[in-house]
């Protein structure tokens, strides 16, 4: 059975309201009608429609003003704007303010139905995505490792094999590359998946506290030890313990860790009872441990115990194919967390993201996309929503000379050719933006940005 949706129609012209009401009612939908922005806002609050179709030019509260207020009430409901003025600037402004799309009067009912159905389908898809995100947040899934580059795909295949063993694993790579993500994947796809996964950052605690955290302590073992306390080795029994930043562990604790790896036993600080544990040790580091061994900063015997299997995670600058994939993933993730409806990333913004060297790797990309979602004012992330250094196109420290620009003749030739493609496609479809976008294989929004860029009205 075809689903029935609630469509709020807003127009100050009675004949337009009547025509749209009839068309959508005959299509099996329930309609609500408003004569102006004030009535529309009241109906919007009371009925929470599935989609809004609203004129831009209206008395009292115009369509753009009503759009912003609707977006503040519930940004998840798509709003399609109608205008009798085919100005590209007006359309782009509407999209920037959060409109799903716009149509120009007099409009073709078939085209309008396409836009409305696309908005309704998008709503349905977003609900499914929200439910999926909720399900994923409650249980670990292999799909949390997102990649489409061969080097990372190979690591994922290796990780799947490693997970089935009980071997110690050393995971190396720059900060922010996703070492903990790999460690979690190993644990949750191992035979220990039902046991605990515990992580400790060896660089975050002073020596005395780190020893107590790992091994636990007895009452009175030191000043402030008012009771017996289990350490992480005990808590990780039948599970996995990730020692993050293992290269920062002091030498005296490295000796004690070596015993746990060899004998699977230890004593709490201040105690004499030997405690046996069944745990798997994973270690992660952004250092070259072989060099640390040569410098006398890391025990050689411990290095070989930890380095039974070595996984080296490449930095994001070597995985440029992953940047668009991860950027869109983080945009949707942070949009859901902030109750925003980010639909896509503008091509210019995506180009800036692709050019960035990402010294902070995936963690930096996540932070940039969270900021972009917060700074965006509509459903599209634009270049101006990115940090200033991205907008300047700088990939070098401040004060360094800018990179050489592309030769003007080639750049101008490419722009001229692109403009001709746009004009030709528009002419073939008598100015119909929807059909033009379909022919060119781009979204209607992308088409509108290009029309504005080239001054095509």
In the prediction, which pLDDT does 85 show? Answer: 63
User: What tokens does 443 get?
Assistant: 């979204």
Looking at residue 145, its pLDDT comes to: 79
Task: Provide the phi-psi class of 388: left if phi over 0, else alpha when psi is between -120 and 50, else beta.
Answer: alpha
Name the token pair of 294: 């040569």
Name the stretches of the chain with pLDDT < 70.
Answer: 1-3, 85-91, 123-144, 343, 393-415, 417, 441-445
Whole-number pLDDT of residue 125: 64
Give me the domains of the chain, ranges plus CATH numbers.
6-138 (3.40.50.2300), 150-316 (3.40.50.300), 320-402 (1.10.8.60), 404-457 (1.10.10.60)
pLDDT given at position 398: 38
Instruction: Kindly report each contact of residues 195-198 with a partner whose C-beta sits within 8 Å and lies 24 or more positions away, as own/partner.
Output: 195/236, 195/237, 195/238, 195/239, 195/240, 196/235, 196/236, 196/237, 196/238, 196/239, 196/240, 197/239, 197/240, 197/242, 198/232, 198/235, 198/236, 198/239, 198/240, 198/241, 198/242
pLDDT at position 415 is 66
Share of the chain above pLDDT 90, in %: 40
Instruction: Look up tokens 């389908």; give the residue.
Output: 121
Predicted confidence at residue 7, as pLDDT, reads 93
Query: What is the C-alpha to C-alpha distance for residues 407 and 204, in angstroms, rounded to an integer?
Result: 49
- Do residues 179 and 171 lie in contact, with contact meaning Cβ atoms separated by under 8 Å? yes
Q: CA 247, 252, 257, 259 torsion: positive or negative? A: positive
Instruction: Give the other-Cβ count within 10 Å of 254's Cβ.
Output: 17
3-state helix, strand, coil in the chain (%, to 5): 50, 15, 35
pLDDT at residue number 427: 81
Model-level pTM?
A: 0.59
Instruction: Look at residue 341 in the predicted model and tell me its pLDDT.
Output: 75
């Amino acid at each position: 059975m075809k689903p029935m949706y609630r469509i709020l129609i807003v127009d100050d012209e009675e004949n337009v309201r009547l025509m749209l009401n009839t068309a959508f009612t005959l299509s099996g939908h329930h309609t609500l009608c408003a004569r102006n922005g004030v009535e529309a806002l009241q109906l919007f609050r009371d009925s929470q429609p599935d989609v809004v179709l609203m004129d831009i030019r209206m008395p009292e509260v115009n369509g753009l003003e009503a759009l912003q207020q609707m977006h503040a009430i519930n940004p998840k409901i798509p709003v399609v704007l109608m205008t009798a003025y085919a100005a590209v600037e007006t359309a782009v402004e509407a999209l920037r303010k959060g409109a799903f799309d716009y149509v120009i009067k007099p409009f073709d009912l078939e085209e309008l139905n396409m836009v409305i159905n696309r908005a309704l389908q998008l709503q349905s898809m977003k609900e499914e995505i929200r439910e999926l995100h909720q399900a994923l947040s409650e249980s670990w899934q292999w799909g949390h490792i997102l990649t489409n580059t061969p080097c990372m795909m190979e690591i994922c295949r290796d990780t799947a094999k490693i997970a089935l063993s009980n071997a110690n694993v050393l995971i190396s790579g720059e900060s922010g590359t996703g070492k903990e993500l790999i460690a979690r994947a190993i644990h949750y796809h191992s035979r220990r998946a039902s046991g605990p996964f515990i992580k400790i950052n060896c660089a975050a605690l002073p020596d005395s506290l780190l020893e107590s955290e790992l091994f636990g302590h007895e009452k009175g073992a030191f000043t402030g030890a008012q009771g017996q306390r289990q350490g992480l080795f005990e808590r990780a029994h039948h599970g996995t313990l990730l020692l993050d930043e293992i290269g920062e562990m002091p030498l005296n604790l490295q000796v004690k860790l070596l015993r746990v790896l060899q004998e699977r036993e230890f004593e709490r600080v201040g105690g004499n009872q030997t405690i046996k544990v069944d745990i798997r040790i994973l270690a992660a580091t952004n250092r070259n441990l072989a060099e640390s061994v040569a410098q006398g900063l890391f025990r050689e015997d411990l290095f070989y115990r930890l380095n039974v299997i070595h996984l080296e995670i490449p930095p994001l600058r070597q995985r440029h194919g992953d940047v668009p994939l991860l950027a869109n993933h983080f945009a949707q993730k942070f949009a859901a967390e902030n109750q925003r409806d980010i639909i896509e990333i503008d091509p210019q913004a995506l180009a800036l993201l692709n050019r960035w060297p990402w010294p902070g790797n995936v963690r930096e990309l996540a932070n940039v996309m969270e900021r972009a979602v917060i700074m965006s004012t509509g459903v599209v992330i634009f270049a101006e929503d990115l940090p200033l250094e991205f907008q300047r196109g700088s990939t070098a420290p401040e004060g360094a000379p800018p990179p050489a620009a592309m030769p003007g003749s080639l750049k101008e030739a490419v722009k001229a050719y692109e403009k001709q493609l746009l004009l030709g496609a528009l002419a073939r479809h008598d100015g119909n933006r929807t059909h033009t976008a379909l022919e060119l294989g781009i979204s209607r929004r992308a088409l509108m940005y290009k029309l504005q860029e080239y001054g095509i009205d």
